[in-house]
Structure formats: structure tokens, C-alpha cells
Structure 1
Amino acid sequence: MSGCCDGGCSVDALRDERQRATLKTVLGINAVMFIVIAGAALYSESTALLADSLDNFGDALTYGLSLYAVARGGNTKAKVALFKGILILLAALVVLAQIIYRLYVPSVPIFEVMGMFSLIGLAANSVCLFLLWRHRHEDVNMSSVWECSRNDIASNISVFLAAGAVWLTGSGWPDIAVAMALVLLLLRSAGRVISSAMVELRAAN
């Protein structure tokens, strides 16, 4: 007999199925939002909005990996979480490269586009955060997903504030400043996810 007494396996299967359903939904939302916001970022020449779109892209990949890890063991979930942390780190480095480029080739982004699409992103990510709320403490896989989703809300609000600052100042510096703050947020999140995954990997070995 495996350790399935008192309906334990049934409870685990139900939890896994609920996780899959949630992850499929938020994966679809983030994939669509990446395309929409990336287009808006390129059109408006906003580095902060670009950071936001890359965050959505990273999240879509993250949710896809999390779907794979749902029914796997703790060791696999920890490895997937580690990879997700590396993806967050890479996103931060891409945005940092764009910031450096904008320092040499400055521009004033279109604040109307920034503001409108940051609010659209905020609405979409609020739905994701709501859906993921009940799963945030279930395992390292879902807690890392929750970390990504929480970052998205902060990113959207920051981009909206940057749009207002660009409007007030007529300068591109608020856009760069917010993008830099988002890089720091991404680096902090990557550190948390990677360290949690390493702890789980050490415990599993």
C-alpha cells in the first residue's frame, strides 16, 4: 500500500487539478498581455512598459513550467522553481540593457500610451493575483508563481506613476527611474525564488 490512507491521494489529486486549472488561466492571460503590452512599449518608446511586458512574458513561461511541475515530486518542483528564478534574473538583465541604451539614446515616451496600458495590465494581473491567492502557500512551485504575480501588480502601478511623471516633467527620466526600480524588484524576486528553490533541493537530497 502507498501512503494514501484516509483519502490523502484524492485530496492531493484534487489540489493538483485545481492548481492546473488556475495555471492554465493565468498562463493565457499573461501570454496575451505580453503581446499587447510589448506592442504598446515599442510604440510609446517606454522602457518601463517594456519591463512590464517582459515580466508578462516571463510569467507566461513560468506558468507553463509550473503546469509541468504540479504533479511532480518536491525535487522536480524545486528545480522548476530554480529555473523560474533564473528567468526572472534574465528579464532584469534585459531591462537593464535597455536602460543603458536609453541613457545613450534618450527619448520622451508617449505618456498616454504608458498610462492606458499600465491600467489594462493592472486589471489583468489583479485577476491573476486573485486566482492564485488560495494556492500561495501550497508548495514551492505555487509560492514562486505567487511571487511573480505580486510583482506584476507593483510593476503596473509603477508604470502608471511613471506616465504621470513624464506628463508633468516632459522628460523621459521618470520612465528610466521606474524601469530601474523594476529591475531592482526583479532582482530581489529572483533572489528569493532561487534561494527558496536551493533550500528545497538541499532538503530533497
Structure 2
Amino acid sequence: MEQLTFQVPHMDCPAEEQLIRMQLAERTGIRRMEFDLPGRTLLITHSDDAALIERLLIELNLGAVLVGRTEVAAIEATDESDLQRRVLITVLVINAALFVIELITGLIAQSMGLIADSLDMLADAIVYGLSLYAVGRAASHKQQVAKISGYFQLCLGILGMAEVVRRFLGAGDEPGFMLMIGISLLALSGNAASLFVLQRARSQEVHMKASWIFTSNDVLVNIGVIIAGVLVFLTGSHLPDLVIGSVVFAMVCYGAFRILRMAR
């Protein structure tokens, strides 16, 4: 039995963890995976092909680098299916609900920042949904759904960028900064709740170290929209909203490309 240590620089939120779990779901020789998101570290205990595991991780383009290999005592595989389902259902519901809330209020407030953030929530919900669907199913099912979801997400991102350009050229009114700030605070709370649920689930697994997840891209996006709302209020301009919207739509498109690469 061998333990591989990977540094994964771009593994900074639970969505990346789920992508890795999905990517390695078919490797029956993997006995244990330990994720340290703050430390960007992944430990894999296995009796599989180390080179293949490394290649599968590299394919995700998260910057995974094998930094250590250690012989360890044999262990039994841990059945985490029920726990994973409960956790994934919880965070899926949170992200899906926030997607609907942010999308509706974003349209009402005419805020591209909120609309973009809602699509970022949708992107996370897609990742969690794919992970939930993949539990106990063959890779072919996972890949088919991943492709459909990836293309759907990419279309949304492109349409969002087109709308940003349209508004930048003069169409659209000043967004409602109060809704931007208020709903972003709600979304921030939702992301914190998701991280808390994931962290609690991790601490209940005897083979995983409890680690405090202190940052994620979603939290940064929420803070960005809040700052944009404040700047809209102070300047009376819609440009801060368009800037944060552009950034988040770009993130949504990047996430779509990553899902599509994984589904190949």
C-alpha cells in the first residue's frame, strides 16, 4: 500500500474537491483520499497505478504536482457513499436556492453582478449535482451529464458576457445597489453554511483531519459584488457592477471548460 502526496495549487474550494472525487471515482484501488483545502494538499492511499492517478489529476488543470510517495500499512476501503449523498444534497439545495434568489433579484435590480453571481451558484450546484449523480454510478453516466452541464454553463456565461457588453455600450439603467448588497450578504451566508456542512462532514470521517476552510472563490465573489454595490452607490455609475459581472462570467466560462475537459 502506498500514500501519494499532491500539491494542488488551484484546489481552493469544495467544488474542486468534488471534481477530484469524480475524476478518481472509477479507481477501485484507491482506499482513502484526504483533502486539506487551506493547505492545497491531497493525500491518496492506494494500491493502484500511481502514474495513472497522477495523470488523471493533471488532466483537471488544477496544477497538481506529486511531491511525495510513502509506503504505508494496508487499510480497508471506507464506504462514504451515504455521507457523501447527505452532504451533497445539502450543499446542492443551498446553492440551487441561492441561484434562484440571486437571479430573480438580479433581474429586478438590473445588476449584472448579482446575475453573474447567481450563475456562479448554478455552476457550483452543477458540480455538486454531478458528484451526487456519480455516487454509485458508472463513469459513462457521469461523463454524459457533465458534458451537457458544461455546455449549458458555457452558453450561460457567453450570454452573460454579451449582456455586459450591451450594457457597457449604453443600454440599461443604474443597478439597485441596496439589493446588490443585501442579496450578496445573503449569498455570503449561504456559502458559509455550505462550507460549514462540508467541514462537519469531513471531521466526522475518522481518516480525515479536521481543517478550517477559510476561503473560497465564491466568498470572494460575494465580497466583490458587495464592494461593487457600494461603489455604485458612491459613484452613481453602473461600471463597478459591469466589472464584477465580467469577472464572474469569466469564472463561469472557465468552470464550464474545466467540466468539459473532465468529461472527455
Which TM-score applies when normalising by structure 2? 0.59
For residues 155 and 90 of structure 1, do their structure 2 counterparts lie closer, same or farther at Cα, with a shift above 3 Å needed?
Answer: farther
Distance 1:54 1:184, change over 3 A: closer
> Are residues 1:26 and 2:26 paired?
no
Segments ≥4 residues shifted beyond 6 Å: none
- Asked if 1 retains the 8 angstrom alpha-carbon contact of 2:130 and 2:142, the reply is no
Select the structure that is richer in strand: 2
**Contact 2:111–2:180 (Cα < 8 Å) also in 1:** yes
**Percent of aligned pairs sharing the same letter:** 36
Contact between 2:153 and 2:253, CA under 8 Å: does it hold in 1?
yes
User: What amino acid is aligned across from residue 69 of structure 1 in structure 2?
Assistant: A
CA distance in 2, matches of 1:80, 1:18: 22
Q: Which one has more relative contact order, counting CA pairs under 8 Å at least 6 apart?
A: 1
Distance 1:168 1:45, change over 3 A: same
Match among 64, 86, 94 for residue 129 of structure 2: 64
1:1-205 aligned within 5 A: 8=77, 11-12=78-79, 15-103=80-168, 104-132=170-198, 150-198=216-264
CA contact (8 A) 2:120 2:248 kept: no
Q: Structure 1 stretch 75-84 or stretch 115-124: which is displaced more?
A: 75-84
What TM-score results when the alignment is normalised by the length of structure 1? 0.74
Unaligned runs of 5+ residues in structure 2 are 1-27, 30-73, 203-214
1:68 shift after superposition: 1.6
CA distance in 1, matches of 2:98, 2:128: 14
C-alpha distance 131-35 of structure 1, shift in aligned 2 (>3 A): same
Does the CA contact (< 8 Å) of 2:225 and 2:241 recur in 1?
Answer: yes
Does the 8 Å CA contact 1:58/1:91 hold for their aligned counterparts?
Answer: no
Structure with the greater alpha carbon radius of gyration:
2
Q: Give the Cα separation in 2 of the matches to 1:22 and 1:46.
A: 31
